[in-house]
Amino acid sequence: MRAMVLSRPAPVAERPLVACERPRPEPGRGEVRVAVEVCGVCRTDLHVVEGDLAPQGDEIVPGHQVIGRVDALGPGARDVAIGARVGVAWLHRACASCRFCDGGRENLCLDPTFTGWQVDGGYAEAVCAPADFVYRIPEDPPAVELAPLLCAGVTGYRAYLRSAIQPGGHLGLWGFGGSAHLVIQIARHFGCEVSVFSRGGLHREHAEAMGASWVGGSFDPPPRPLDAAILFAPAGELVPAALAATDRGGTVAIAGIHLSEIPPLDYQRHLFQERNLCSVTANTRDDGRALLELATAIPLRTTVHPYPLEAANDALADLAADRIDGAAVLTVS
């Protein structure tokens, strides 16, 4: 099968992913094999490829926003049929026995495995995943439009929940890429006003087109205080700006898996009056299922830019350079 393989992390300008032929993987106990139709390109993939996330093996196939069909079942795989349309996401497996899994917070599992970082992901023609961790995907929407929901969408949804924004509130979004362009639709569905902070003209135009009430630079003051904010940009220097723009009692949720260093915070200006700062760590399967249901109900519309599988380096480079409004998706089959 065709696959894009990372042997050594390097800047995307060096084109670190190499196209190669590999044997099709065989599903293990309780696993299914998925013939990949498309795989979304995520900023987490960029962190894996460039080494912001420490390598977990000698070679890895990135990608964790997979839409495809089950074409093989491993021993003991249940409740998934050959030919079923499914999604494979970032959380490959949780231990099911630690105190966090027992408490319904498998996103905080003490011994998790992640797709496209610790096990091979979807930048290939086939991928294996535990049957219990794949998502049932509806038949109607095109795969290329669904793929971003599996990470950009569900991470944004969890960040939206963690921000504690109430219906009708004023939500600020820092960075307007794959996640934010979906969160703005969720927020507006619940009657929220949304202000967007972005450094790029392309992303500002996209935010305006999607209904942002105000769009400005990353450090510009909003027209009025925010009730909550979500930071999607992996830039620690934006944390003080987001806190300063948030009203007393508000929450700033940091949605990235990687963040550059946060500068010192001033207690009076940034944290006093019960301002809250929290992180977002992956998601539970319940989050994913809830987001997929909400995506159908709203319905969510994804802005996507397709690339062929062999152009994965180009897609990552365009993502790194902020040349993509919305989400990049690799078309595999």
Distances (CA, A) of 304 to 95, 97, 221, 241: 34, 38, 30, 30
pTM for the structure as a whole:
0.95
Cα-Cα end-to-end distance for the chain: 11
175: alpha, beta or left, given left = phi > 0 and alpha = psi -120 to 50? left
Average pLDDT over every residue of 16-27? 98
Query: Token pair of 235, please?
Result: 């830039």
Average pLDDT over every residue of 80-99? 98
Kindly report the CATH class assigned to 153-279. alpha beta
Average pLDDT over the chain reads: 97
The dihedral built from the CA positions of residue 306, 311, 312 and 317, taken in this order, carries a sign that is negative
Q: Looking at domain 2-137+303-331, what is its CATH homologous superfamily? A: Medium-chain alcohol dehydrogenases, catalytic domain (3.90.180.10)
> Domain coordinates of the chain in residue numbers?
2-137+303-331, 153-279
Strands (E), the chain: 2-6, 17-21, 31-41, 66-73, 85-88, 91-93, 113-114, 126-130, 135-136, 170-174, 193-197, 214-216, 226-231, 246-254, 276-279, 304-308, 327-331
Q: Quick one: pLDDT band at residue 201, thresholds 50, 70, 90? A: confident
Query: Token pair of 153, please?
Result: 């969408």
Query: Token pair of 321, please?
Result: 């350079």
Q: Quick one: pLDDT band at residue 330, thresholds 50, 70, 90? A: very high
Q: To the nearest whole percent, how much of the chain has pLDDT over 90?
A: 97
Res 191: pLDDT: 98
